[in-house]
Amino acid sequence: MDARERLDGMRREVDAELGRRLSGDGSRLFEALRYAVLGGGKRFRPLLLLSAGEGFGSGRAPLLPYACAVELIHAFSLVHDDLPALDNDDTRRGRPACHKAFGEGQALLAGDGLLALAFETIAEAPSGAGGAGRKEAALREIAAAAGVGGMIRGQWLDITLRPGEADEAAFLELVRLKTGALIRASVTAGALLAGASASGLAAASEYGDAIGLAFQLRDDLADAGRSGSPSGLDALAFFGPDGTRARLEAEVRRALSALDRERVASAELRFLAESLVREAA
Ligand code: GRG
């Protein structure tokens, strides 16, 4: 089996576990939660968490609740981001956005519910190998990335900064927070749960940081001409199309050399990083 097939298998396991978590009580509320989470999506963050955890020696089962949690947090951010008060998008994943299908108030609450459910899912996860210390470290990593020092802060910057106010450094900081923080934390949480060494964790963090940035650069290239950001700030405005592509390739090289430095033999982590360049081609 090659990396792509193993990743497909992981995706199926994540989807099955998310489906179980969201099977609910037949209410309209759970219908909205399922709509937001299960209707499409690449599962990039859960795949990173599982690949990093396995790459650092963990089995899959103990990682699955955390993989679901990062996807639930991601789904929350998409539901809220699509609301008229933020990015005001009518469609998501090729279908009406959650607020278009269920109403604005309902989508607001569905997003809140997904965020809380993510942390409930982690709270209910068994401590597993390495005891409560690893669980606590992974929880701290994910909470920090989702919260006021991570994604929320990034989104705050995105709706408050005006294009003329941000230089390249401010733009990169925004991306690191808004998009990068949860991606990086997905990698480091997997490594922490597997009991990676300090140097392993540093390599995981550098890999995660680099692909977090690369992910947004690829997204900006794909969206060229129509800003997906409330501030109107995007990579093309700073680097141009060729410069954005060159920076994307450099970040993917940085991610791969972090793995090589630490001899992390994960074909899946390599494949996920390289896919960002392939998809931008
Ligand atoms: C906390 C409201 C709130 C927002 C946080 C993540 C985010 C900021 C906003 C979502 C909108 C957006 C365009 C963010 C940039 C990151 C990005 C490209 C998200 C889309 O992620 P994919 O491509 O989506 O992984 P799928 O559908 O594959 O899960």
> Whole-angstrom Cα distance, residue 151 to residue 58?
27
**For 54, which DSSP code?**
H
Q: What is the CA 128 to chain-centroid distance, rounded?
A: 24
pLDDT by 10-residue block (mean), the chain, 281 residues: 95 97 94 96 98 96 97 98 96 97 98 98 88 93 97 95 86 96 98 97 98 96 74 86 96 98 95 93 71
How far is it, in rounded angstroms, from Cα 210 to Cα 218? 12
Specify the 3-state DSSP secondary structure of 274: helix
Q: Are 280 and 243 in contact (CB under 8 A)?
A: no
The pLDDT of residue 175 is: 96
Task: Quote the pLDDT of residue 225.
Answer: 60
**What is the value of pTM for the model shown?**
0.96
Question: Whose CA is closest to atom 29 on ligand 1?
Answer: 41
Residue 127 has a pLDDT of 87
Topology at the third CATH level for domain 3-280:
Farnesyl Diphosphate Synthase (1.10.600)
Å from CA of 209 to ligand 1 middle: 16
| Distance in Å, CA 23 to ligand 1 centroid | 24
Is the shortest distance between the CB of 151 and ligand 1 below 6 Å? yes
Which residue puts its alpha carbon closest to atom 20 of ligand 1?
Answer: 78
Q: How far is the C-alpha of 96 from the C-alpha of 101, rounded, in Å?
A: 6
Tell me what pLDDT residue 226 has: 65
The ligand 1 atom nearest the CA atom of 78: 10
Residue 75 contacts residue 21 (beta carbons within 8 Å) = no
Q: Per-domain residue ranges for the chain?
A: 3-280
